[in-house]
Structure 1
Amino acid sequence: MDKSVVKLNQRTILAILIVFSILQALYNALLPIYLDEAYYWVWAMRPEFSYYDHPGMVAWMIYPFTFIANNEFTIRLSTVIAMSVTVWYLVKVSLEAFQNDEEKNTAWYVFFIFIANPAVHMGYVFITPDSPLMMFWAAGLYYTFMALKYGKTKDFIISGFLVGAMMLSKYAGILFPAAVFLYILICRRDVLKDYRLWVSLIIAILCLFPIFYWNYQYDWISIKFQYEHGTSSGFSFAGWDFILFILGSLFVIPTPVFGYVFLKYLWLKDYLHNKEVLFFIFLALVPMLFFFYKGFFKKMELNWIIPAFISSIILIGYAVAKYNMKKTFKYGIIFSLVLVVILKLAPVLPFPAHLNIAERLIGYKEAVIQFEKYIKDDDLIFSNHLTTASMLTFYLPEHPLTHINVPSRFSQYTIWDETDGIFNYDKEGVYFGKDDAYNFLKEKYSSVIPLEVIKVTPYNAFEKTFYVYRCIP
């Protein structure tokens, strides 16, 4: 492909992407904070090398924006940037990999399939560990492809840092180097003799120092938690959970039309003698088959398979271009955009609560505002769960750190609360939580005073109930 055409395509796509990103960022300011987002924001307020639930990248990405302001718009700027960088590198690697006349529109197809995807639109809104993972995975695709194609030292070095950044984002990032090495062993064994490959691997390992250092301090609890979280204790079939996970991975995340394109392309098998296309095949199928295997025995979450989606979307765009599937592409985009419109308007559409995908966003801010009047100077704020505690910290003035003083699942709060001595129950404060923890609190404090049962019934959402108690040691 002519270089001037490539540059024109890049400039045009970049201009569209900038406008699209600005509109996404403005939309984000309209939505309340999501439960998990608030939790990751609290991490950013207490920066550490790593955290119990995930490595630290998501908090490190949020952290710089806390100097601007602590609101929905600024916090989510981090994910808008991450998703935009993701699609930009998918376009760049597509332009580099597919330059024949029959393939030349691949980058455009990849771009529009990506930005029209409903799951991507959710990624543009909610900052989670998947956001940096997607960004570094896409950038890693580009620089690793360039390193293998042209053999430039700088591409090997950058790839090493990006692989390290993937694993600092989410432990699933390890599937990227696993897929690359499997590809090299089968298709490019010549690269094994190149010392720069091993330098790249060493760089990636050195980048993991924050994870190892933090886990060393806490008896490797994060690594143990993630292993147990994603691994079954036995080998019994997961049943419908497995079937639904397969269907979701193939037809929900990419949408049914583009899932069909992906499967059709795999079936045609014309990529078997094309090493460059096989690179993307390995980067899509290795994480996909890994989670399919795990899902056979234990319930998997759909977002876990996102790395496979990032790689497979290039293959989908390539298949559309190579086989001139313009009509299929049109139907796929229309279907995706209809779903996107429903997603964007969900908070105001008259859905019943059980069908409202925005239900978990609504009502917390209103409840926290009602709770605020019970807080005295020097009070500690208590709650019952990590997400409710995070919501309190986010929406209360001055953002006081909330503690969890009742039985709850182990989380980063557990570590902080043990360090801060909360479980001595010798500090006065006020409890706000979904659980009616009166009996437990009565055992731990000399006086527990009921203050209010706050009930919030937002539009098209379930009623949310919160119990408020003053706890006096």
Structure 2
Amino acid sequence: RGEQEYALWTGLFAGALLLSKYTGILLPVSLGLYIILYRRSLFANRYLYLAVILCIAVFSPVIYWNYLHDFISFKFQIGHGVAQEKVFHPNEFFKFSGAQLLLFHPLYLLPLFYFIVRDREIFSRKKMFLLIPFLFTLGFFIYFAAFKKANAQWALPAYLSATILLAYYLAQRNAAKLIVAAGIMTALALLLIKTPAGDVIPAVKNFKSRAVKIDHFDKEIKSLHIDIDSYDYILIDDYHGTDVAYYFKKYDNVLVVTPERFSNFNIWRYEDLNISMASPLVSLPKLGKCLYAGISDLHLYELNQLFGKGKVLLFEKKMIGSREISFYLVEYHN
């Protein structure tokens, strides 16, 4: 009875996982590989199939939505992560692989691989239950990173089971010194991030400039005495800027100007404002008083063509890491 309940709970949470992130499919697939290799007897258990059905049922709203929208988010996800041409890019490959050391911690990830290689019982059923999701998920993203730029955090699901496996090895070997060393290294890294000392390292400086983006924007808005609530719409370059608009509680009044990287904002602007999902802005309905907050000279030109010349509230050169950008706050009346 216990295994039957676990099977149903697994199906339920696997469906919830897919609702959260499409790449979550890698964990159920890893579980399937484990069953094929070590628990083939489960294929005779009807609860395995009930778990699969339950998973699909939980995920079915997303499937249905995609069916109504020509499977657009599935297509985007595949096109976003999979290279059309398999041309090896060593720079992206090593950048992604090296970033995994920072993501999980170099004093944890490297020893983990060492422990795995040295473990004579690594192929035991219990250890493979943890090892397969780790290696399969990490290997999946490292493979695709060889051909196309991949974000380091995409591989984070791999470290769910890796953390448990590492904890087992550390406890078995009483590796207190390793844990202390990792803690000291983490403290030093936080010190670099939290103090000006880290600005001498380009990667740290870039991270800090991005992390405080909203706080800086808030100060600029207040220093200019801009009343955000007086604007009917906030116009931004792409969906990355929506965090700024949401910070100012403009939940339903955000217009993403560019269709460059497709997101649900493109669908909303089509459904709410009848603006094309796939082409640059060529016309706009009456939006009232708008504030453009962005860095694109092209978007500024397009908006000036649509609205007439706007009132420039702020034009400032900014350094984002090692990159200089032009930042605009421009008011329009439509």
The answer to whether TM tops 0.5 is yes
Q: RMSD of aligned C-alpha atoms?
A: 3.0
Structure 1 Cα separation of the partners of residues 267 and 69 of structure 2: 9
Other-structure match for 2:289: 429
- Which of 108, 129, 152 is 1:279 aligned to? 129
- Aligned CA distance change for structure 1 residues 157 and 241 (closer, same or farther; 3 Å): same
* 1:255 maps to 2:105: yes
Residues 259 and 414 (structure 1), Cα distance of their counterparts in 2 relative to 1, 3 Å cut: same
Which of 198, 201, 224 is the equivalent residue of 2:52? 201
Larger RCO (CA within 8 A; separation ≥ 6): 1
| Residue of structure 2 equivalent to 1:156 | 7
Displacement of 1:431 in angstroms is 3.4
One-letter identity of the residue aligned with 2:138: M
Task: Kindly indicate whether the alpha-carbon contact (under 8 Å) linking 2:237 and 2:296 is maintained by their aligned counterparts in 1.
Answer: yes
* 8 Å Cα contact 2:310-2:331 kept in structure 1: yes
- Equivalent AA in structure 1 for residue 289 of structure 2: G
Question: Which residue of structure 2 aligns with residue 239 of structure 1?
Answer: 90
How far is the alpha carbon of 1:169 from its aligned partner? Answer: 0.9
CA-CA distance at 1:403 after TM superposition: 1.3
1:384 matched to 2:234? The reply is no
* Aligned twin of 1:420: 272
Letter in 1 for 2:27: F
Establish whether residue 402 from structure 1 lines up as the match of residue 254 from structure 2. yes
Residues 341-371 of structure 1, C-alpha deviations (whole Å, 9 max, x = no match): 444x25x767369433221123221234456
Does the 8 Å contact 2:238/2:256 carry over to 1? yes
Name the CA distance, whole Å, in 2 between partners of 1:441 and 1:273.
61
Tell me how far apart the structure 1 counterparts of residues 240 and 143 of structure 2 sit (CA, whole Å): 30
**In 1, distance between residues paired with 2:88 and 2:226?**
51
Q: Partner amino acid for 2:35?
A: I
Question: After superposition, what is the alpha-carbon deviation per residue over 1:210-245, rounded to whole angstroms, capped at 9, x for unaligned?
Answer: 211221221111110010111001111021110122
Between the aligned partners of 1:392 and 1:370, the Cα distance in structure 2 is 18
- The within-5 A match list for 1:327-406 is 327-343=177-193, 345=194, 351=199, 354=202, 355-356=204-205, 357-360=207-210, 361-362=212-213, 363-369=216-222, 373=226, 379-395=232-248, 401-405=253-257
1:409 aligned counterpart, secondary structure? coil
Matched residue SS, 1:240 = helix
Distance 1:384 1:316 in 2: 42
Q: Measure, in 1, the Cα distance between the counterparts of 2:113 and 2:53.
A: 36
Give the TM-score of the pair, scaled to structure 1.
0.61
Q: How many residues align?
A: 318
Distance 1:453 1:281 in 2: 53
Give, in angstroms, the shift of residue 456 of structure 1.
Answer: 8.3
Which AA in structure 1 matches 2:237?
Answer: N
TM-score by length of 2: 0.84
Q: Please, which moves more after superposition, 223-232 or 330-339?
A: 330-339
Q: Which residue in 2 is equivalent to 1:108?
A: none
Structure 2 gap ranges (5+)? 276-282
Percentage of pairs with the same residue: 23
Aligned to 1:310: 160
